[in-house]
Amino acid sequence: MKTICSLLPISYPLIQAGMVWVSGGKLAAASANAGILGVVGAGSMKPELLEKHISKALKLTNHPERLAVNVPLLYTKSKEQLEVALQLGIKIFITSAGSPKTYTDWLKGQDSKVIHVVSSPEFAIKSEAAGCDAVVAEGFEAGGHNGRDEITTLSLIPQVVDAVNIPVIAAGGIGDGRGIAAVMCLGASGAQLGTRFVATVESSAHDNFKQAILSSHSGSTMLSMKKYVPVRLLKNKFYEEVKALEDRGATKEELEKLLGHGRARLGMLEGNLEEGELEVGQIASLIHDIPTVENLVQRLIQEQRMSLPVGCFF
Ligand SMILES: Cc1cc2nc3c(=O)[nH]c(=O)nc-3n(C[C@H](O)[C@H](O)[C@H](O)COP(=O)(O)O)c2cc1C
């Protein structure tokens, strides 16, 4: 079976997802050290802060080639973020929340690999046409921002695999080795895990946020703000405020105003479980511990090997 290990300089076909307020230099370096792709999430960082996190990751790992940066393209500073990362020697970029045409050519011209996050086969085809090396196909179960079409990972992966010739990395609802084995059976060449990595020792999520994941149950998350920027949230007081606004037909501007108070930072980094925004995927209720990244990766690999049909081992 061909995995993303032939495209990327990693030992296991796994990506620790880029996540606002969660995946800083420490988490990315721990992931690189554990043999997978470690991603610094630039979404919540000004270019100067991104520079600090990449530098920190470079200090903490002997595998700089396994470091990547996720740049959501909806922010105004995305070009500067990409420039900072390039200057520090980053060669792998995961772009999301925007058109794959915007920077792919330019990044490829700088000897980089570009992976774009998509939520439908149509966007995957556009990403391939734009020259991307691979796509992350992210299902509706995923934590964080999400596609509007509500396509689940189980339905999405085989459709994207059939639609493009570049490697497809599955994301959304993968929390253990069984999930990794399942998406590889669907034709994925690797898996990207987000929520699972929030609850690790090295993630910069506040401990209250990690504990909230451990206490969650199967109905604890909901896709919100579909009119504005769809995002899957852990249900709390902030979620109820968003829902109340949506139920009475609030405008995009009203939702923007509610979010404008730094709610994501308040919830995920500062640990305010009532007033803060907590981005979490449906798989949260399968998570029962806060391991180190090294222990988690070893466990995922063992579980995946035990779950795959014979002949599918990597
Ligand atoms: C707390 C959190 C923050 C996230 N932030 C980003 C982000 O900044 N950029 C992005 O492309 N995806 C973001 N995501 C999505 C992840 O990169 C990943 O694709 C997703 O978490 C996979 O689904 P899972 O949570 O079910 O594992 C975020 C997810 C979480 C849980």
Q: Is residue 139 lining ligand 1, measured as CB closer than 6 Å?
A: no
pLDDT score recorded for residue 229:
85
Quote the ligand 1 centre to 305 CA distance (angstroms): 25
pLDDT score recorded for residue 310:
58
Give the Å distances, CA to CA, from 45 to 55, 199, 218. Answer: 14, 21, 31
Q: How far is CA 17 from the centre of its chain?
A: 3
pLDDT score recorded for residue 255:
84
> Domains (ranges, CATH) in the chain?
9-204+286-307 (3.20.20.70), 207-283 (no CATH)
Quote the ligand 1 centre to 226 CA distance (angstroms): 16
CA distance 257 to 278: 17
Tokens of residue 13, six digits: 């076909």
CB 104 within 8 A of CB 114: yes
pLDDT score recorded for residue 163:
98
CA distance 231 to 220: 14
Q: Which protein residue's CA is at the shortest distance from atom 5 of ligand 1?
A: 19
Q: Is residue 195 lining ligand 1, measured as CB closer than 6 Å?
A: yes
Instruction: List pLDDT tens digits, range 283-299.
Output: 999 999 999 999 999 99
**20, 22, 141, 233, best to mutate for ligand 1 pocket (most atoms within 8 Å of CB):** 20
Give the Å distances, CA to CA, from 214 to 21, 195, 253. Answer: 18, 11, 34
pTM: 0.96
pLDDT score recorded for residue 146:
87
Ranges assigned E (strand) in 220-301: 221-224, 231-234
pLDDT score recorded for residue 58:
98
User: If phi over 0 gives left and psi between -120 and 50 gives alpha, with beta otherwise, what is residue 157?
Assistant: alpha
Q: Is residue 304 lining ligand 1, measured as CB closer than 6 Å?
A: no
Q: Which residue ranges of the chain lie beneath pLDDT 70?
A: 1, 308-314
CB 23 within 8 A of CB 203: yes
